[in-house]
A and B are shown apart, each in its own frame.
Chain A
């Protein structure tokens, strides 16, 4: 299988020949990858050099934590490309913003109602996690289309809390919360 890995703007074509041999930069290299007591911690031996790192799948790429540094690696191959295009998108229409819980926690305050108009920066939900209170704010002025959270409810990470629609057409980018 042939892959192209991209990291920090550099491309690395890697061909996997069998379990222990790859073609990397025109050379055939011996490799040995082992998951340490379950993923995502991996031990890798490359031509006798030993490395250990975490490899986490991200939404679009892979995050590799190696020797105190994080690398974002995106990998392309024919089959994966096909898989990705068949995946259905869960992003709403262009003028809708879906607020998901950035962490698991407890909704201690929901100072808004469904259908309510909110200003940019207005608090939508206060989520308590690890004893810290996190204010989730409106990224733009709009209307709360659907409210799926009540005060006192526990939420999972990435659980959808509410949908916010913009009266001014499509949103170009989704604002990240602190």
Chain B
């Protein structure tokens, strides 16, 4: 087995990978930017090395420096996590040249699947249905994109060729608004992935986003670990994921068929390690290949909860050259798992990001609750990176039990110092579409409002009024005391007066 693994990431996912390494008895190496000197992954690793200044392009995207550090410290492998360098074929290839194992698929699979256009063409050739798009055209200039758009029809989506995580994506409703949206998509793609190329894809309305977790070894064995339902999204960012999907729960034939197609898509690129095949399911239960994520996903824990498999540990084992620990027929699914992504975004203020020091954090514990977090009390959240600070995952024997447990855990989860989207999750857990499992990717943006959704919730107007008044009163008294105190020129005089008055 590997002796030492370098984790080329930060935040909760770096901590997650550290944990898997520890449990396998492997030494860990963290890398960090100046902003992350006190981050949890740095504190918990066996070794830690500074990469550079806070912006990602000067630190976590510096593949050359990371490889250099790995060689100097004697690491045998690099785990890229998600984001940053995880889907950069050049980085995977550079690792290989440096005689370091890249914990992920082969560089060629990343290149094929990472170029969204090539990926779609490849799986289409393997007989998998894809959403209509401009992928056959190669990299298009602005005027060519504008000319091609009417062939696909509106609404459509502009997507970054090297994209992921909702970045570099824009919904387009009309041709008129398109030029400006192309510019902003290119700009965001350029700064997030170092590649400003975009393509167009038809926007399937009323669709559900369902993905399959794939696991493959280097001997050609490919299995799937079932699906994850990821339709609760805002601006193409997933917010809540669950497994199994309530939409497939009474349609076992469709689930099986999608699983088979997912394996087929992975085989089409000779895939090894963990990967995810994303599908869109339209209202007529037709499914289309969307893309393949050639890496560990943020939402992998829901699959771990229902299958019992440690996906990160399995990634490390197959990267080392072992066979898959389980066969397809050994995979059993039990109960239901839900994940809420805890972001530093204020749902009462247009989901604006919030940064600052976490003055208090009290994560829930108790039956069936798992927290994957990268922060702690006293940690300063910088505005340089992703707003995701923690993931809360619950497991229940049934989906209703999981929802009740999530409600309980969300109420217990206290974070002070920054605003989080916990109230958003609490509100979603109360909505009829979520409870009944009848929601699609447009739900959050088109049908959901923080105000409407709480209609049925019990009101505590009097308690709220009382709480605010008591707090206001305390602060008023403080202010008055402070004023009286500063009004005194001499503290000695003040102390003397105090002593006299206490007699």
Contact = CB atoms under 8 A, between A and B. Distances in A.
A and B: partners?
yes
Given A37-B360, A129-B383, A31 B191 contact: no
A122 to B, nearest CB: 10
Given A71-B464, A128-B191, A130-B387, A36 B414 contact: yes
Interface string B431-465: 00000000000000000001000100111111111
Interface stretch (B36-44, B239-247, B351-359): B351-359
Nearest to A70: B348
Contact of B463 (A10, A46, A70, A129): A46
A33 B470 contact: yes
Given A41-B414, A69-B457, A80-B476, A132 B167 contact: yes
Contacts of B427: 68
Interface string B181-197: 00010011001100000
Main secondary structure of the interface of A (DSSP, over half): strand
Nearest to A33: B470
Nearest to B388: A130
Given A104-B355, A129-B353, A130-B385, A64 B474 contact: no
Contacts of A10: 461, 465
B1 interface: no
B352 A103 contact: yes
Contacts of A31: 466, 470
Contact of A44 (B360, B423, B457, B463): B463
Interface residues of B, number: 51
A151 interface: no
A16 B167 CA distance: 52
Contacts of B474: 33
Interface stretch (A1-9, A142-150, A166-174): A1-9
Given A41-B360, A68-B410, A70-B423, A133 B461 contact: no
A36 B360 contact: yes
Most chain A CB within 10 A, of B383, B387, B416, B459, is at B383
Nearest to A14: B469
A44 to B, nearest CB: 5
Interface in A50-79: 51-55, 57, 62-71, 73, 75, 77, 79
A57 B471 CA distance: 10
27 contacts: A3-B473, A16-B469, A31-B470, A33-B471, A37-B360, A38-B416, A51-B463, A52-B414, A53-B464, A57-B475, A62-B468, A63-B348, A64-B464, A64-B467, A66-B463, A68-B454, A68-B457, A70-B423, A71-B460, A73-B469, A104-B355, A106-B383, A129-B355, A130-B385, A131-B385, A132-B353, A133-B191
Interface of A: 1, 3, 5-8, 10, 12, 14, 16, 22, 24, 31, 33, 36-42, 44, 46, 51-55, 57, 62-71, 73, 75, 77, 79-80, 102-106, 108-109, 126, 128-133, 135, 176-178
